Amino acid sequence: MIRIIKRSSVKRSSLTAIFSSRTKPEMNASQEAHNREAFRQAVGNTLERRLFYIPSFKIYRGVAGLYDYGPPGCAVKSNVLAFWRQHFVLEENMLEVDCPCVTPEIVLKASGHVDKFTDLMVKDEKTGTCYRADHLLKDYCKDKLEKDPNLSAEKAAELSHVLAVLDDLSAEELGAKIKEYGISAPDTKNPLSDPYPFNLMFQTSIGPSGLSPGYMRPETAQGIFVNFKDLYYYNGNKLPFAAAQIGQAFRNEISPRQGLLRVREFTLAEIEHFVDPEDKSHPKFSEVAQLEFFMFPREDQVSGQHARRIPIGEAVSQGIVNNETLGYFIGRVYLFLTQLGIDKDRLRFRQHLANEMAHYAADCWDAEIECSYGWIECVGIADRSAYDLRAHTDKSGVALVAHEKFLEPKEVEKLVITPVKKELGLAFKGNQRMVVEALEAMGEKEAMEMKANLEEKGQAEFHVCTLDKVVTIMKNMLSISKEKKKEHQRVFTPSVIEPSFGIGRIIYCLYEHSFYTRPSRDGDEQLNVFRFPALIAPIKCTVFPLVQNQQYEEVARGIARSLTAVGISYKIDITGTSIGKRYARTDELGVPFAITVDSESSVTVRERDSKQQIRVSVDEVASVIKEVIDGVSTWADVLWRYPTHSS
């Protein structure tokens, strides 16, 4: 268990102050928006100046939606992913895979991405600049609500309603609202085209011929689904089991904005937990059942209430959360995010409304984190039922199923589909095999509907996925019946519980939640600080000789070698800059500990947020830093064990 250092003396961040100010009547929406923008600028400027991330291809004026992580940003990301692996892959004994970013078209055709992975877009009719239609309408409504002092109560209610139903609006309804409100292109004020769908995937071709179309994957999940059969075999043909993947995904966003929150290339960490659809209990659910955190069930959203604290065990027992496995992962996601440093009071789990849910999904929740941009979806936790495996079974003709062996044979009523291959061969010739496989893969409901049509009309229309067309099946081409049989095993398509993590979004929210300012020693300026937990800090400690002195510098280098030997990242600074400025520079990088060499036998160790210092012998200092970094001891523990030092 990793313990997080308590920082009771830390001054709260300015963003927390902004959120707290909502209860003050004198703080209007316009002032709050201004404060949020000022805070966002302060965080963004610090992140870019200290090279956490910068726009990609900056010397060529950059490309919207693409960013480079600098050295501290890479270190934070690496630490977040390392903790993700520890918290999920190792703890849950998951099977990790690494699949290609380039995906053949047929895979994404089966998953529905080729046809349905779209956003509605409008164009500036004169310049051709593209915008996301719903974003323009959303920005207009929010701007009017926040900044128009003359807005009537009736109009405010109308705009609030538009925001509430925005995701439900069709292309025609969205276009009508844009025209009704006179919304024009933001940059030129030119008129806009009617909204139309734009597929967000980057298309490519595989091989030089151009005959094999493909796409850069928009998610990592499909690589796991298509490998289910082999993973199931690797796991000893046993359920439940989970597969995990960390990798890059690509979405050709229409008008990317909000920094790291909406980009065109990003890192996803996804889990696919395969489970028997008839048993979604979880053996470790009791370990998280007592966790209590903000949840926002759909009933509360519809009735205009706010998120409330609910124990996850209670949410499952009351049917708010569909099943134990889904509830278990919601609890584990809560622990993951809060141990990273996300403020538990600005984290909520929001249930998808009925209009947001895919038709096949049993239940879906988003872990949303509040930052200066509002509530941001950072993790999706969904019970996707058996949709994905069935879709790939239909398209590929390979049965992605699991088996349950019975101790005693059971008599069951079984659907029997018997294609008459001779008649099908005469009718479909070279396509006979694909038609036969599609007929044999029919579910019970579809098969019984076909049987009724064949008996009533003598023929039935049937969609063959692998041919991507509808064919006519005649009565003499197959028989469909139900027979009682003794079976030794049950064959079924597993359901999947999918937690999907947007790593860049989590990291950006972590930056905001960790950032605060405090006055300098002289009180003449405000100093920036990132209060990262040691777990994910980009550099764990710094080593400073107090003054430029050859003996002190040798001691500093010896300590650096000791830190390297125990796997602790560090930054050594032997410049002649004042110790106060060196502390300020590393506080701004979020370095939790600073070792100052002021003698040849002992050194001081300073904790970033409290600024408290202890004196430790040179021989012990590396092991002391390691035990606090690893969570074996807290800063309070070592503060009690070692003499304090006053600067």
pLDDT in tens, 485-500: 888 888 899 999 999 9
Confidence at 410, pLDDT banded by 50, 70, 90: confident
Give the list of residues 6+ apart from residue 247 with CB closer than 8 angstroms, or none: 98, 99, 101, 217, 220, 267, 268
Over residues 42-71, mean pLDDT: 94
pLDDT recorded at residue 415 = 85
| CA dihedral of residues 211, 215, 221, 225 (deg, nearest 10) | -10
Least confident of 382-391, 435-444, 635-644: 435-444
pLDDT recorded at residue 6 = 32
Confidence at 27, pLDDT banded by 50, 70, 90: low
Whether 4 has a pLDDT exceeding 70, the answer reads: no
pLDDT recorded at residue 628 = 94
pLDDT recorded at residue 566 = 94
Over residues 609-615, mean pLDDT: 94
Least confident of 13-27, 137-151, 325-339, 510-524: 13-27
Confidence at 90, pLDDT banded by 50, 70, 90: very high
**For the chain, what is the mean pLDDT?**
90
The residues with which 368 forms a beta bridge, in sequence order, are 348, 377
The total of other beta-carbon atoms located within 10 Å of residue 595's CB is 26
Phi and psi for 182 in degrees, rounded to 5? Answer: 65, 35
pLDDT recorded at residue 634 = 92
pLDDT recorded at residue 136 = 93
Q: Tokens 């028997």 label which residue?
A: 276
pLDDT recorded at residue 17 = 53
Over residues 81-104, mean pLDDT: 97
Whether 248 has a pLDDT exceeding 60, the answer reads: yes
> Residue ranges of the alpha helices (H) in 85-235?
105-111, 113-116, 133-147, 153-164, 171-180, 221-226, 228-234
pLDDT recorded at residue 569 = 95
pLDDT recorded at residue 15 = 54
Whether 256 has a pLDDT exceeding 50, the answer reads: yes
Q: Are 123 and 192 in contact (CB under 8 A)?
A: yes
pLDDT recorded at residue 513 = 97
Least confident of 416-425, 438-447, 450-459: 438-447
Q: Is 240 helix (H, G, I), strand (E, B) or coil?
A: coil
Whether 626 has a pLDDT exceeding 80, the answer reads: yes
Percent of the chain with pLDDT over 70: 95
pLDDT recorded at residue 7 = 32
CA atoms within 13 A on the CB side of 596: 22
Residue 382 host element (H or E):
strand 374-383
pLDDT recorded at residue 8 = 31
Q: Are 88 and 500 in contact (CB under 8 A)?
A: no
Whether 258 has a pLDDT exceeding 90, the answer reads: no
The residues with which 614 forms a beta bridge, in sequence order, are 605, 644
Q: How far apart are CA 551 and CA 97, in angstroms?
A: 50
Percent of the chain with pLDDT over 90: 69
Phi and psi for 464 in degrees, rounded to 5? Answer: -100, 110
Over residues 220-247, mean pLDDT: 96
| Cα radius of gyration (the chain) | 29
pLDDT recorded at residue 560 = 94
Q: Are 303 and 260 in contact (CB under 8 A)?
A: no
User: Could you report the per-residue pLDDT of 299-343, keeping only the tens digit for each?
Assistant: 998 888 899 999 999 999 999 999 999 999 999 999 999 999 999
Whether 5 has a pLDDT exceeding 80, the answer reads: no
432-440 vs 421-428: helix crossing angle, rounded to 10: 130
pLDDT recorded at residue 18 = 52
Nearest by Cα to 242 from 378, 96, 83: 96
Looking at per-residue confidence, does 244 or 139 come out higher?
Answer: 244
| Type of residue found at 75 | A
pLDDT recorded at residue 370 = 96
Q: How far apart are CA 541 and CA 616, in angstroms?
A: 15
pLDDT recorded at residue 619 = 94
Confidence at 620, pLDDT banded by 50, 70, 90: very high
Looking at per-residue confidence, does 459 or 444 come out higher?
Answer: 459
Q: Is 139 helix (H, G, I), strand (E, B) or coil?
A: helix
Whether 360 has a pLDDT exceeding 90, the answer reads: no
DSSP per residue over 292-339, as a string? EEEEE-HHHHHTT---EEEEHHHHHHTTSSS-HHHHHHHHHHHHHHHH
pLDDT recorded at residue 440 = 85
Q: Are 250 and 217 in contact (CB under 8 A)?
A: yes
User: Could you report the per-residue pLDDT of 396-408, keeping only the tens digit for each?
Assistant: 989 999 999 888 8
pLDDT recorded at residue 41 = 94
Residue 496 host element (H or E):
strand 495-502
Residue 76 host element (H or E):
helix 71-84
